[in-house]
Amino acid sequence: MAKIAIIGTGYVGLASAVGFAQLGHDVVGIDIDEIKVQKLTSGKSPIFEKDIEKFLVKSLKKKKITFSTDYKKISKAKFVFLCLPTPQLDDGSADTSYILESSKLLSKHISDSATLVIKSTVPVNTWKAVKQVLNRKDVLIVSNPEFLREGTALEDFFKPDRIVVGCEVEKKAKEVANLYKAKNAKVVFTDNTSAEIIKYASNSFLAIKLSFVNEIAAYAESTDANALEVLHAMGLDKRIGKEFLKPGPGWGGMCFPKDVSALKESAREKNVPIPLLDAALESNLKAHARIVKKIIDALGGSLKDKNVAVWGLAFKANTDDTRFSPAISVVELLIAAGAKVTAFDPVVKHVQLSLK
C-alpha cells in the first residue's frame, strides 16, 4: 500500500482521500481551513455526498486517514495529489493561483523522488508551470484528471469508466494508475498536455450536448411534437447514445460552466476559437429564461404577486451544491418578474441569491 497526500479537501479532494483510504492506502488530507480539518478529524463531512461520511468514519477508525493544516505532514508521502480549486476569473479563464502557490509550499516538504499528481481541472500546460514553480528535478509531474460526478463521487471513484494518466515516464504513469485498483477500467496513458485537454473536452462536449437537447425540446414543443419521444428515439442510435438526452432548466454545477468558459478562453488565446462553446453558454442562459416564460404563460401572462413553489435548489439531485445552479437562476428570474417564491431542498441549507 502507498502513502498518499491529498492537497485540498473539497469535493474532489475529500472523495479521493476517502476512496484511497478505503482501498487500503495510508492517506493524509491537507487543507488550510482549520475548522474543516477539525470537522473531518471528528468524522463529519463538510459536504453532502452519498456514503462519504460512512467511509470516512471507517477509515478514521482503521487509522488509514488523517487530516492536517501542516504541509510538513506530506514528507513521507510517495504520491502527492493536488486537488485544489481553479475558479473562474472575470474573463472566463481558470485561476491557477491556488495550484501554483501550493506547489511552492510543496517544494520544501515533498520527499525525494516522490510523484506530484495534478488531479484538479487545469488549463493546458499548467503542468509545465507547476514543474517550474516546484523546482524539483527529482519529482515527476503526473496529470491525472478527475471524472467524479457530485452525488455519485465515490461510486465513480471505485468504478471509473476510464483512468487518464499523463506523464513523461511510462513507469511512473503505471504506478499512479495502479493506485486505483480498478481492474475493469480502461486506462489511457498519454502525455501531460493531452490529459489536461481530455478533461476540458469531455465536460465541454457534454455541456454542448445538453444545450442541444434543450434547444431540440423547445423546438419540438413549438410544433406540438412530443419532445421526450423525439429524444428517446434519438438515443436509440448507438452513435448518439441515451445518456444526457433529458431536457431541463439548463446545466450547472461547478464543473460545466467553469470548464466550458475556460476552454473557450484558452482556445481564443491560441487563436483557434470554438464557436460551439459560445453557443452552448448562450443556449444555457436561454434555458433558464424559457422555464420562467412557461410559468408566466401558465399563470395568465404575469407573475406579479403570484405564489410560486420551487422544489430543489442544488444544481442536481443528491448534492447540496448550489454553485451555478440553474434552479437558483430560475428563482432569481421569478422574483425579478414579481413572483413570491417559496423554495425547498432536502439537503441545501443556505442559499445566496443575486437580486437586482
Q: Are 347 and 325 in contact (CB under 8 A)?
A: no
In the residue annotation, 255 being an active-site residue is answered as yes
Query: What is the identity of the amino acid at 1?
Result: M
CB 251 within 8 A of CB 210: yes
DSSP state of 223: T
The residue from 255, 313, 330, 348 that is catalytic is 255
Angle at 331 between CA 301 and CA 276, to 5 degrees: 95
249 DSSP 8-state letter:
S
Give SS3 for 235. helix
Dihedral, 114, 119, 125, 129 alpha carbons, nearest 10: -50
Nearest to 134 by CA among 166, 97, 102: 102
Q: Is 258 exposed, middle or buried (0-12, 13-18, 19+ CB in 10 A)?
A: buried
- Torsion angle, CA of 83/89/95/101, rounded to 10 degrees? -100
Query: Edge-to-edge strands of the sheet including 79-82?
Result: 65-68, 26-30, 3-7, 79-82, 115-118, 140-143, 162-166, 186-190
The residues that bridge with 67 in the sheet, in sequence order, are: 29
Enzyme catalytic residues: 255
